Structures are given as structure tokens and as C-alpha cells.
Structure 1
């Protein structure tokens, strides 16, 4: 996704300036990252969702460019520390952008990515949960953690169509868990999210299921 094509001329120039400043002095990202929405752009991205649940917002995309600039000049360890700091010291918008940008981390920094995703998935903030569950870094979650992420998305209303790994990673255990969830909702007279059928309608290879 080319961020510049979504910005007007002034915003593109401001983003280019910020990216260059990060490349020259990566420690400045701590100041520029929070300022991205105010100085460059904010609002709905290509998904049309201004809350950033269905896809990255404009400010998310701008902040991703700053993370990429950091990745181009910092060592893997320094980048992992910077990304973790941006997450832990940021507001919900900044955390959302970090979660969507975890793919900039070196494979050796996978524990940091897992820790940040786990933190987001413990919240009830649909913006953070969607960002944690939808990016390529989700592939770093083990089977148990990934199943729990899928269930959390069902609980809070994050569309499963946007969850990384659905349906490729769906296994018999997740089908069982989602069938139990749907059954509990029905017994309680509560609506069952249509998205659950993205799991229930998938029979993993060599693991036939009645669900």
C-alpha cells in the first residue's frame, strides 16, 4: 500500500520531512510518532473505517512509514526496544499503529512482537484487537494463542474475515471451541455472529468434524 497516493501535496511533503528526520536521528521518532496525525493526516484509510478496526487509518499508515524509516537505520535489537517503547508509552492510536507495523521487526525479535500482541489481546479495545489479529506478525503466535485471538475477536465483534490465518490455520480444536461458543450463545437466546461460520464451515484436512 503506497501511503503517499492517499495524501495531498502538503501532507506528502510533511511526511517526507519526518521520514528524513527519523533516518538522520532515529531517536526523534519518539516525538514525531505521536505528532503524525496532527502534522500529516488523520481519518479513514482505504477501508473507510475512521476507527481503524476494518483496516489502517491514514495516521496508522503515516506512522508505519516512520517505523520503516527506523527499521532502515537501527540495529534489530535497538529497533525492537524502540517499537516496544512506542507501544508502551503511546495512546491507543499510537499502539494500534505499532501493532500494524510489527512486521518491521527482525525475526529474532519475535518475542517482542508476541508480547505486544498478547498485551493488546488482553484488552477490550476493538481497535487494538483488530490490529493485533490482522497483521502478518500474527503468524508468530503459537496455535493456542492464535485460537484465543480468534475467540477474542468473536467476543468483541472484530470481523474474522480480517484475522490473519482464517481459514488457513483453522484446526479441529478451534472448530470445537467456536461450536461451543455458538451453542452457548444460542442457549442464552443471544445472536451468534455470522462470522463464526468462517470457522464452523471449514473442516481441517484429515480432521473431519460434524461442525
Structure 2
């Protein structure tokens, strides 16, 4: 990381640690001014301020939401931000859907929501390898759902994705 970026990031982290709401003015420019990983550092400086994190997500663009979803497992160990994951699963942005089923979503989504998220990945052609802890969370109901979907595809004369074939 170049010196100006390192200095900007250090100052930005100090600002967020002193006033968590300062992140709202810094987050959008973080990657450009602070380099790769800058958003992660700013989110870490929130020290679990869930109200600020939630507001930042709600106001964020897709890239900002993606940055938050990607590090949720590092920021919140209590499942309090599962609503952000559920929001991401309602989008049509494949990057957000895949990130929603990362380590945090896989740890905290209820079984029904997790299964629906996995199916959404299949519908959106997101490889099931992107789903964290799929083997641990895989159950008979998810197997049935994938098998039914594979049968529908076959009946329509459409190919069944290989990762669905492996699981159904």
C-alpha cells in the first residue's frame, strides 16, 4: 500500500473509532483512497456498532453492501445482522446473493431461509461451491427441493447444473 493510502486509512480509522457515524462520509471513498481492504478496516473500527452498520448497509450501493456482507462474520458473532443477509437474498444481484450465503449467512439463517437461498443460487447460476458450510447445512428437505428442481428442468428438456446433479 502506498504511503498516501496508508495515511488516509489510518486517519479514517481513527475518525470512525472516535465517531462511528463518520463512516458514512468515508465508506464510499475508502477503496479508492485507502486501497484494497480499506472498507474492511473501517467496518472493524465500528467495534460492533450495529445501528451504524445497519444504516450504512441500507444507504449503501451494491459494492458497499457487498463489502459489508463479506465481513459480517468478522463483525458480529451474535446473529443480530441476519436481516441484512435476508435483504441481500431478496435482490437480483448475484454478488449479493452469493455473499449472503457466506460464513455469516450460513451460520445464522434459519433452515427455511438457508434452503431458499441455496435454491436462489441455483436459479441464478451461482455455483453451490459459493455457499459456505453447505455440507453441514445440507438436509433431506434441501435434497428434496434440489431433486424436484432437477426433475422440472429435465421435464422441460433443459440441462441440470452439475452441482445440482451431485446433490439431488
TM-score under structure 2 length normalisation: 0.90
In structure 1, stretches of 5+ residues that fail to align are 1-6, 42-57, 201-211
| Deviation of the 1:100 alpha carbon | 1.5
The equivalences for 1:5-84 within 5 A come to 7-41=1-35, 58=36, 61-71=37-47, 76=48, 79-84=49-54
| Deviation of the 1:131 alpha carbon | 1.1
Moved over 2 A (4+): 7-17, 135-138, 197-200
* C-alpha separation in 2, matches of 1:11 and 1:192: 47
* C-alpha separation in 1, matches of 2:65 and 2:104: 16
In structure 2, stretches of 5+ residues that fail to align are none
* C-alpha separation in 2, matches of 1:14 and 1:190: 52
Give the match for residue 88 of structure 1: 58
Q: 1 or 2, which has the higher helix percentage? A: 2
The equivalences for 1:105-124 within 5 A come to 105-107=76-78, 110-111=79-80, 113-124=81-92
TM-score under structure 1 length normalisation: 0.73
Question: How many residues matched?
Answer: 167
| Deviation of the 1:37 alpha carbon | 2.4
Q: CA RMSD in A?
A: 1.8
